[in-house]
Amino acid sequence: MKILRSPAAMTAWSEGLRREGVSVGFVPTMGALHEGHRALIREARLRCDALVVSIFVNPTQFGPQEDLARYPRPISHDRAICRQEGVDVCFEPTAEAMYPTGFQTTVTVPAIARRWEGESRPHHFAGVATVVTKLFGMVRPHRALFGQKDFQQSVLVQRLVNDLNLGVDIVVRPTVREQDGLAMSSRNVYLSPDERRRAVTLYKSLQAGAAAIRTGETDAKTVRSAMVRVIQGEPAMTIDYLAVCDPITLEPLPTVARKAVLLGAVRLGTVRLIDNMLAAAKQVRRHP
Amino acid sequence: MKILRSPAAMTAWSEGLRREGVSVGFVPTMGALHEGHRALIREARLRCDALVVSIFVNPTQFGPQEDLARYPRPISHDRAICRQEGVDVCFEPTAEAMYPTGFQTTVTVPAIARRWEGESRPHHFAGVATVVTKLFGMVRPHRALFGQKDFQQSVLVQRLVNDLNLGVDIVVRPTVREQDGLAMSSRNVYLSPDERRRAVTLYKSLQAGAAAIRTGETDAKTVRSAMVRVIQGEPAMTIDYLAVCDPITLEPLPTVARKAVLLGAVRLGTVRLIDNMLAAAKQVRRHP
C-alpha cells in the first residue's frame, strides 16, 4: 500500500490509472476507522479496480466549540485496516496542502445544508462540501462511497456532484451498528461506559418511528411523537432534533405517503449523537 | 465541427480523448465572438490537440437590471468563426441542462470577488465561479484560455482552480483592441457612433496611468490622479472605479514597487465599459 501525502502525487497516480482504463474507487474518511468504514472499503474493493482511502481530519467542518483538537487520530491502526482491506493508496494530505495561504474558495449547498445538522453546526456543511470537492479534484475517482450514518452529508454530496458536474458516481451504504443497535461512529469513544449503555436509546427511538410508519401511521406528527416518547424515557438524553423528512430534499413531511427518512440528533452528557433510518409507508397512496 | 448540447455527450467526447492521451483545450464564451475570442481560439489550437468552445449566456452572472435579455446571440456567426478556426466541438448547453430543478450549489471566491466588478455586480462572480466549475466538469479540459480583458475574472478563475484542485491549466491572453485602442467586447455593439468615438478615453486613461508608472511614479494616488484627469476630459463618461492594484490579490496598492494592474470601469450613456492594463515599476525597489 502506498501512503501519499502530496495532492499532486495523488492526482498523478490516479490519472495514470484512468488513462489505462482502470476504475478508481474512493472512500474519504477522517480516520479513526471502524467497522462502518471497513464495510465501505470492502464494497469499494468489490466495485472498483483500484482503491484510495483518504484520511484527513478537516478543520473547516468543525465549529470553534467542537472536538477538532481531541478528535481521535490512531494513524497506525487506520493504516493497518487499510492494508488488511487491500487499499492501494492511503492518501493523507496535510492541512497546509489542503488550505495553503490565500485559499478562499467555498462550495455551498444552501437548501440541503440549512436544516438539522446545519442548524446546530452553521459552517459544517460548507466545510464538507468544499473539502469533498477538493478531494475529488485530487483523487479523480470514478466512484466514491459514503455511509448512510451521515445521511444529510450523503444527500449534500450527491447534490453537489450533480450540480457541479463532478462526474463521480456516489454510492451510499447502510449504517453499520453495534450489537445493541448503536450506529458505529468514531465519536463513540467519547462515551463513558454508562453513557454507552444509554446511547442505544436514539436507535430505539428511530425504530419506534419506523415501526409506526410500517404499521400504517401516515401522520408525521404522530410518528415523531412516538420517537420523542422513547427519548423522554432516557432522562440523561436531550433532543437536539427529531424529524420525519423527505429523503431527497430533507424538508419535513406533513404526511408519510411514500418514503421518509427519520433523522435524529441527541445529547448525552457532553457527547452529541446522530443517527437516521429510512422508512416506507405501508402502502404507497396513489392520491396523497 | 460537432455541435453538442448535451453535457453528458460533451463529457463522453472529452473523456474518450483523454484516455487516448489527446490534450483537450477549452475556450468558454458567452458567444457574440469577436477578434478577442478568435485570438484565444487560435492560441488554444496551437497549444492543444483537440479544441472545445462553449457558447452559453449564463443567466446567473447577470444582475436583475443588467442586459441578459438583450445580450447579442448571433449563433450562426459564432459557429462560422468556430468552424473557420478549426474548433472540434461547439458546446451549446441549454440553461435547463445547466440549472435543472433542485440546482443550488454555489462556488464563491470571496476576497477576489469583493471589490471592483463585485461592488457594482454583487452576484456576478458567484455566477462566474459556479458556471466555470460546472463547464470544467462537463468539458474536462487539460487547459482553458481566458482573455485579460476580464482581468478580475481571470484572477478569480485561477484562484478557484487552485483552491478546488480542478487540475485545469489556466492561460490568460492579452486583450485584443480596436485600432484606436478600445478593448474588444461583445457589448461594444451597444455603443452609438458618438459613444463609440468617446469610448477610447478609458483606454487612454489606463495608458496615462501606465506611462506614469513606467516613467518612475511610484505613488499610487498620483498614478490614479493621472488616470482620473483623462476621464474627466470626456464629459460624457463617468467613473465607476479606477484603481491601482496588486495583480494577484487585486487589493489597492499604496505604492507601485513592482507590478501593478490598472483597473477601470466607466459609464458612457447606458453602456458600462471595463478595461485594464498591467504596468511594471521603472526599477524594482529592493526595500519598498
Quote helix, strand, coil % in chain B, to nearest 5: 40, 25, 35
Residue B262 maps to which CATH number? 3.30.1300.10
Look at residue A107 and tell me if it is in a domain: yes
Residues A93, A149 share a domain? yes
Residue B186 contacts residue A127 (beta carbons within 8 Å):
no
**Which of A107, A121, A203, A119 is closest to A156 using CA atoms?**
A107
Question: Among A173, A195, A215, where does a domain finish?
Answer: A173
- What domain range is A31 assigned to? 2-173
Is residue B285 pLDDT above 60, yes or no? no
pLDDT at A282 over 60: yes
* DSSP per-residue string spanning A108-143: E-HHHHHSTHHHHSTTHHHHHHHHHHHHHHHH--SE
Give chain A's domain count.
2
pLDDT bracket for residue B282 (50, 70, 90): confident
B173, B208, B242: which is the final residue of a domain? B173
B8, B109: one domain: yes
Q: Residues B142, B197: one domain? A: no
Minimal CA–CA distance to B246: which of B278, B224, B221, B223?
Answer: B278
* The pLDDT value given to residue B65: 92
pLDDT in tens, A68-95: 999 999 999 999 999 999 999 999 999 9
| Chain B residues close to A134, C-beta within 8 Å | 163-165
- Same domain as B157, residue B37: yes
Q: In this model, does residue A256 exceed pLDDT 80?
A: yes
From the list B34, B37, B77, B123, the catalytic residue is B37
Taking contacts as CB-CB distances below 8 angstroms, the residues of chain B near A112 are: 104
Query: Would you call B107 and A105 a contact, using CB atoms and an 8 Å cutoff?
Result: yes
Mark whether A116 and A222 lie in a shared domain.
Answer: no
Q: Do B167 and A11 touch (CB under 8 A)?
A: yes
Query: What tens digit of pLDDT does each residue of A130-176 get?
Result: 999 999 999 999 999 999 999 999 999 999 999 999 999 999 999 99
Contacts of A133 in chain B (CB under 8 A): 164
Residue after which a domain boundary falls, among B173, B204, B227: B173
The pLDDT of residue A39 is above 80: yes
- DSSP, collapsed to helix, strand or coil, labels residue A51 as strand
Of B18, B134, B166, Cβ closest to residue A137: B166
- Which residue in the block uniquely carries the three cell numbers 460533451? B10
Do residues A271 and A240 make contact, with C-beta atoms less than 8 angstroms apart? no
Single out the residue of A170, A140, A178 nearest to residue A34, CA to CA. A178
pLDDT band at B87; cut points 50, 70, 90? very high
pLDDT score for A284: 58
Same domain, B64 and B165: yes
φ/ψ of residue A220, rounded to 5? -65, -35
Min distance B236 CA to chain A CA atoms (Å): 38
How many Cβ contacts (< 8 angstroms) between chains A and B?
78
Environment class of B250 (CB within 10 Å of its CB; exposed 0-12, middle 13-18, buried 19+): buried
Task: Please state, for a pLDDT cut of 90, what percent of chain A lies above it.
Answer: 98
Query: What DSSP line would sit under A205-274, residue for residue?
Result: HHHHHHHHHHTT--BHHHHHHHHHHHHHT-TTEEEEEEEEE-TTT-PBPSB-SSEEEEEEEEEETTEEEE
Q: Are B82 and B92 in contact (CB under 8 A)?
A: no
Task: Tell me what the pLDDT averaged over chain A comes to.
Answer: 96
Q: Does the annotation count B37 as an active-site position?
A: yes
> Taking 70 as the threshold, does the pLDDT of residue B286 lie above it?
no
**Residue of B138, B160, B165 with shortest CB distance to A138:** B165
Q: How far is CA B201 from the centre of its chain?
A: 20
Give yes or no: residues A190 and A213 share one domain. Answer: yes
Element at A279 (helix H, strand E): strand A271-280
Is B167 in contact with A110 (Cβ distance < 8 A)? Answer: no
Considering the domain architecture, whether residues A41 and A165 belong to the same structural domain is answered as yes
Q: What is the CATH number of the domain that holds B66?
A: 3.40.50.620
| ipTM (interface pTM) | 0.95
Q: Residues B159, B62: one domain?
A: yes
B225 pLDDT above the threshold of 70: yes
The Cα–Cα gap between B49 and B63 comes to: 37
**Contact yes or no for B105 and A11 at CB 8 A:** no
Answer yes or no: is B115 within a domain: yes
Residues B36 and B71 in one domain: yes
Residue B210: inside a domain: yes
Active site residues of A: 37
